[in-house]
Amino acid sequence: MKAPARTTTAVDTARLGIMLGELRLPTIKTVWPRFAEQADKEGWPAARFLAALAEHELAERDRRRIERHLAEARLPPGKTLDGFDFAAVPMLSKAQVMAVSAGDAWLAQGANLLLFGPPGGGKSHLAAAIGLALVEAGFKVLFTRTTDLVQKLQVARRELGLEAAIGRLDRFDLLILDDLAYVTKDQAETSVLFELISARYERRSLMITANQPFGEWGRIFPDPAMTLAAVDRLVHHATIFEMNVESYRRRTALDRKRGPGRPPTRATIKTADA
C-alpha cells in the first residue's frame, strides 16, 4: 500500500532538517520552508530557489562573524566615524580617514597608523571608530590600552611564554595600542613593547595613539638605540595623523561654564607660542 503524500512530505521535511543540521546550514534549515512556499506560488526555477537560500546563509554567516569579531575587538562603546567631529580637527582629512577605514591595502601590507596629539583631542575616539569600521569590513581587530597589554606580555615573559603570547596576537589584522605615553620608562616594560613592535613589523599592522611626538619618545624607551629602532619600524610603512587641537573635554567644560545662549567654542590649531 502506497504511503499518503502528506506522510511522505513530513518524512522528507524531517530528513532535510537533520541533513541541513549535519551540514551546518542553520539559516537554510530555518528559512527554506518559507522560500519553498514562495517558490511554488511564483514558479521559481530551481536555481533561483537555491541561490536565495545560499544568499541568506552567507549573509547570516557574515553577521555572526562580525558579532564574534566585535566581541573579540573590545572596542570602547559608542565610538563611531559618524559620531566623530571632523570639524573640530581641521587638519585631519575626512577623505583620508574614510579611505584608511576600508583597510584593504595597508592592512595587507602590514602598514601602521599613528595618531599624535595632546590629551582630549579625539585620538582614542578616532582609533576606536576606525577599528569598528574595519571589523564591519571583515577584519579582525583588538583594541587595548598599551599598559594593559604590556603587563600581560611581562607576565608571559616571566612564564617563558612571550613568543607564544605575541604569536597569538597574529590572528588580529590590526592591534590598536591606545595611550602609548603611559608605559613607564622601565626596561622590562619597554623591552616587551619593542619585541611586539619588531614581531609585527611588515607582517601585521599596528595603530598607536600617543600624546608625544617621536622626539619625546626617549621618555618611554630608556635606551636611545631602542627608541630609534622602534620609531624606524613604526614609520617605515605608516600613515600619520596629527591631531594638535584643544582638548575636547576642556572645550566641553568651558561650554558648560559659559552656559546656554552663548556661542560654543571650537577647537583651534595650537600655534608654537600659544
Average pLDDT score, the chain:
83
Share of the chain above pLDDT 90, in %: 42
Reported as a pLDDT band with limits 50, 70 and 90, residue 273 is very low
Global confidence as pTM? 0.75
- At the topology level of CATH, where does 74-258 sit? Rossmann fold (3.40.50)
Average pLDDT over residues 57-67: 86
Residue type, 101: S
C-alpha cell at 151: 603587563
Please state the domain extents for the chain: 5-71, 74-258
* pLDDT for residue 108 is more than 80: yes
pLDDT for residue 20: 84
Rounded to whole angstroms, the Cα distance separating 79 from 268 reads: 22
Longest dimension (CA), the chain: 99
Q: Which residues contact 210 (CB under 8 A, 6 or more apart)?
A: 114, 115, 116, 123, 179, 180, 181, 217
> Which strands make up the sheet holding 141-145, listed edge to edge?
141-145, 174-178, 205-210, 112-116, 238-242
C-alpha cell at 171: 590572528
pLDDT for residue 205: 97
Instruction: Name the phi and psi angles at 219, rounded to 5.
Output: -75, -20
Q: How confident is the model over 194-217, as pLDDT tens digits?
A: 899 999 999 999 999 998 777 777
pLDDT for residue 221: 73
pLDDT for residue 123: 93
Q: How confident is the model over 12-32, as pLDDT tens digits?
A: 778 888 888 888 888 888 888
The three-state secondary structure class of 265 is coil
* pLDDT for residue 252 is more than 80: no
